[in-house]
């Protein structure tokens, strides 16, 4: 990598820029990435309404030829492939288009990259209500962090709104629908399956999610209730393959990538997922899940049985 080459290519698939608030927060987010320094390249994927105009205005490369499913939703695998084909940086980072980043993002990614060859960096977010354009003048990041400290809310650990990884990782991503549940959980699962460190950067990096509603989705319903989310879960490998931040096995502390001790709740979660990660056995993972969560397992079994009986009665 020469001095002129970027270290990280940040890429995303924004929503249409038609909703005034979505337009505002996406502009805030992507412009924050552009202010991370010369080591960052930013790409946007898709041909949603308003995207071409924004790309031209912001001086960002846009790639419209994203593959879509039968619902016209862009596919994650296509987005990742476009990013890899149109970049040369050693690191890639998919970031949701409502996420604000600060310059520490680059230095921390570089520190991990200097220690590990293969990895997935993830982390918790802070939620913040913003209703005005950010001004990117001197110390903009300091003011933003102060605002988060005063008004921000730490989001419960679950999925991740950002994923940083070497460009040779995640070269074969299933046809997940973007913006729906399940695909981000697969990122955790696949990395663990491949034996790559899943590194939780939550304690070292502040990433900020700008609050918004779900009016941009059909019926205004949350994405996890949509049929495409259930399809994503099937593509991911089923419910047992839904991994979260609690499945990260490393963290970044004191400048080093450190293994997270397996004790307490983490011990039982490790026991629950062991057959899936180490033996690639879904049936055994169902068994360990039932041992750890008997009530939930019974509820799932009863739901599946009811679904099959209903399908049998009404073919």
Q: Burial of 95 by CB count in 10 Å (0-12 exposed, 13-18 middle, 19+ buried)?
A: buried
Averaged pLDDT, 110-128: 97
Q: Burial of 290 by CB count in 10 Å (0-12 exposed, 13-18 middle, 19+ buried)?
A: middle
Among 175, 155, 304, 183, residue whose Cα is nearest residue 241: 183
Tell me what pLDDT residue 212 has.
82
Decide: helix, strand or coil at residue 216. coil
| C-alpha dihedral sign at 116, 155, 29, 255 | negative
Name the band, by pLDDT with cuts 50, 70 and 90, for residue 39. very high
What pairs with residue 252 in β-bridges? 257
Intra-chain end-to-end CA distance of the chain, in Å: 59
Tell me what pLDDT residue 305 has.
75
Name, in order, each residue with C-beta under 8 angstroms of 14's C-beta and a sequence gap of 6 or more: 26, 30, 44, 46, 48, 51, 54, 97
Euclidean distance between CA atoms 288 and 305, whole angstroms? 20
Tell me what pLDDT residue 302 has.
84
Name the band, by pLDDT with cuts 50, 70 and 90, for residue 194. very high
Domain boundaries, the chain: 8-250, 262-313
Q: How far is CA 48 from the centre of its chain?
A: 20
> What phi and psi, each to the nearest 5 degrees, are found at residue 43?
-125, 145
Contact yes or no for 162/93 (Cβ under 8 A): yes
**DSSP code of residue 177:** B
Please, what is the angle between helix 227-236 and helix 183-194, to 10°?
10
Compute, in degrees rounded to 10, the torsion defined by CA atoms 237, 240, 243, 249. -110
State how far the alpha carbon of 8 is from the alpha carbons of 38, 57, 137, 273, in Å. Answer: 10, 22, 23, 32
Tell me what pLDDT residue 311 has.
66
Tell me what pLDDT residue 216 has.
47
Name the band, by pLDDT with cuts 50, 70 and 90, for residue 2. very low
In this model, does residue 218 exceed pLDDT 70? no
Decide: helix, strand or coil at residue 256. strand
- Fold topology of 8-250: Spore Coat Polysaccharide Biosynthesis Protein SpsA; Chain A (3.90.550)
**DSSP code of residue 213:** -
């Amino acid at each position: 990598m020469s001095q002129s080459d970027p270290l990280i290519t940040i890429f995303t698939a924004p929503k249409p820029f038609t909703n005034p608030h979505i337009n505002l927060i996406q502009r805030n987010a992507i412009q924050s990435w552009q202010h991370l320094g010369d080591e960052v390249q930013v790409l946007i994927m898709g041909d949603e309404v308003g995207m071409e105009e924004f790309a031209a205005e912001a001086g960002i490369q846009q790639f419209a030829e994203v593959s879509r499913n039968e619902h016209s939703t862009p596919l994650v695998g296509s987005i990742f492939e476009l990013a890899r084909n149109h970049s040369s940086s050693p690191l890639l980072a998919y970031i949701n288009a409502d996420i604000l980043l600060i310059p520490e993002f680059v230095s921390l990614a570089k520190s991990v990259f200097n220690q590990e060859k293969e990895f997935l960096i993830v982390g918790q977010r802070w939620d913040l209500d913003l209703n005005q354009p950010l001004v990117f003048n001197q110390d903009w990041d300091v003011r933003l962090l102060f605002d988060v400290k005063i008004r921000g809310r730490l989001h419960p650990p679950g999925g991740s709104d950002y994923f940083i990884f070497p460009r040779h990782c995640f070269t074969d991503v299933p046809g997940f629908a973007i913006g729906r549940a399940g695909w981000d959980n697969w990122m955790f699962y696949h990395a663990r399956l491949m034996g790559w460190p899943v590194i939780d950067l939550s304690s070292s990096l502040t990433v900020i999610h700008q609050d918004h509603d779900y009016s941009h989705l059909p019926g205004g319903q949350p994405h996890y209730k949509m049929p495409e989310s259930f399809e994503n879960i099937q593509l991911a490998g089923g419910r047992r393959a839904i991994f979260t931040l609690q499945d990260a096995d490393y963290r970044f502390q004191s400048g080093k990538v450190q293994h997270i001790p397996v004790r307490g709740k983490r011990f039982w979660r490790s026991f629950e997922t062991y057959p899936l990660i180490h033996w690639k056995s879904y049936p055994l993972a169902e068994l360990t899940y039932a041992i750890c969560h008997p009530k939930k397992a019974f509820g799932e079994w009863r739901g599946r049985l009811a679904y099959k009986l209903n399908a049998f009665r009404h073919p």
